[in-house]
Chains A and B, each alone.
Chain A
Amino acid sequence: MARSWRRAGIVALPFVLAWAAVLAVFTALRDRLPDPVATHMGPGGQADGFTGLGAFLPVATTLLLLPGLIASVVAYCSRMALGGQRMLVATGYGTAAMLGYDLVALLEANAGAGRAAQVAFPLWHLAVSFAVAGAVGGAGWLLAGRDAAPADEADEAAEAAGPRLPLGKGETAVWTRSVGSPVLVVVGAGITLLGVVLTVVMDVTAESALIAVGLISLALSRCRVTVDRRGLSVAPWFAPRPRMRIPLERITKATSREARALGLGGWGYRIQPGRSALVLRSGDALFLRLATGKEFVVTVDDAATAAALLNTLVERDRTATGT
């Protein structure tokens, strides 16, 4: 599927609109805003964190336009219909709406208070921002659905019989290979580092979530993929658990081909309609057609051997159980 500026525009739209709204409100209220402005609220809705007036706009711009830019670059490069990634689009819309609402409400609260220390931010604002996020996210979901995903181009290839790996009667075979993801290593290390720095510099506990996300990315950055008499399993490189397993009974057919990470929906564990994929890098990938009609993909070197062995084992399993 071709790259599309229209898709890039659709995913960037809510971020740009939210930024424009914040910019407009900031300009209108500028004379009445205290310096510094209150930017963080304690649990009771009382201001307990402050930012210089001059820094407010750059920070708000980064918060809104950077994710918007990233989202549209991904949408542009992935060549995928938005209909196949509705959840992502909806999340982007919801996030932009929530950020935009909170920033505007924050400016209003600051302008009304006169002095930053007196700024109060009633907690019902949070409830409203969640509602707004939900509504706008829903709109994003519907909008993305109009960009229908094309029929699976792999179906034709899947019609042909899958490759085989001849095995003797008493012979058992196991295929195993580890695959690493430079992208997940860099992203994981980066997020962890950011979390640690934020925790030290700003002394806030919320950033421990960042550290957790970073460490999970790092843990998943190298996996071992195994094909054996039980089926396919994927486990992290350092331990046999947690393990993802697809038993032979659930596999109809295995094939292998080159795949691009962005074409599969990005790096990590991606769930899309009709397909889930464990994407560590672009390149050789193993495609499984499941009994449910869905598809499972894992990117791994030498996927051709894995596919051949899986087809042979599936066939042997069927013959043995007589189904």
Chain B
Amino acid sequence: MLFRVDLGSPVPLGDQIAATVRGAIADGTLRPGERLPAARALADSLGVNVHTVLRGYQRLREEDLIDLRRGRGAVVTGEQPTARARLLEGVQNLVEEARALGLSDEEVLSLVRTRLASRYSGAPYSA
């Protein structure tokens, strides 16, 4: 897979790395069970700090897209990672567009809540 980071971009490098992997999972380039390059090797290749790469991997783990295990490295999880990655990209787009419109966090959340409520009428949203 292809990792791209832009050193001139305001987006943190770790997030850029996570976004690359997320994109690769979403478009099927990375399949469940596939292993990501070792953080140290990738950091060497990109010319960035190994902690930057690990921050990116950590974010992907929080999103349940990869498993991080000592000694095994980072592996794409077996549970519908493709659909999950697409959903997360959608969320990312939602947030970016809301920010561009100048909406506050609370306004965005209430928009999503309203949508969830209308879709699953009868199932109250519990925060």
Contact = CB atoms under 8 A, between A and B. Distances in A.
A224 B9 CA distance: 29
Interface stretch (A47-55, A156-164, A170-178): A170-178
A235 B46 CA distance: 17
Interface size classification for chain A: 20 to 34
Tell me whether chain B's interface is mostly helix, strand or loop, or mixed: mixed
B42 A170 contact: no
B40 A240 contact: yes
B35 interface: yes
A11 to B, nearest CB: 40
Contact of B1 (A175, A235, A237): A175
Nearest to A239: B38
Interface string A233-245: 0010100100000
B7 A172 contact: yes
A111 to B, nearest CB: 61
B102 interface: no
Interface in B29-50: 29, 34-35, 37-38, 40-42, 44-47
Given A226-B37, A228-B46, A240-B41, A177 B9 contact: no
A168 interface: yes
Interface string B1-35: 11111111100000000000000000001000011
A231 B55 CA distance: 26
Contacts of A237: 35
Nearest to B37: A176
B38 A174 contact: no
A309 interface: yes
A4 interface: no
Interface of A: 165, 167-178, 224, 226, 228-230, 235, 237, 240, 302, 305, 309
20 contacts: A165-B2, A168-B6, A170-B6, A170-B8, A170-B9, A171-B8, A172-B4, A173-B3, A173-B5, A175-B1, A175-B2, A176-B1, A176-B3, A176-B42, A178-B34, A224-B37, A228-B44, A229-B45, A240-B38, A240-B40
Given A171-B5, A171-B6, A228-B46, 19 more contacts: A165-B2, A168-B8, A170-B7, A170-B9, A172-B4, A172-B46, A173-B5, A174-B2, A174-B3, A174-B45, A176-B1, A176-B42, A226-B45, A229-B47, A230-B45, A235-B41, A302-B1, A302-B29, A309-B2
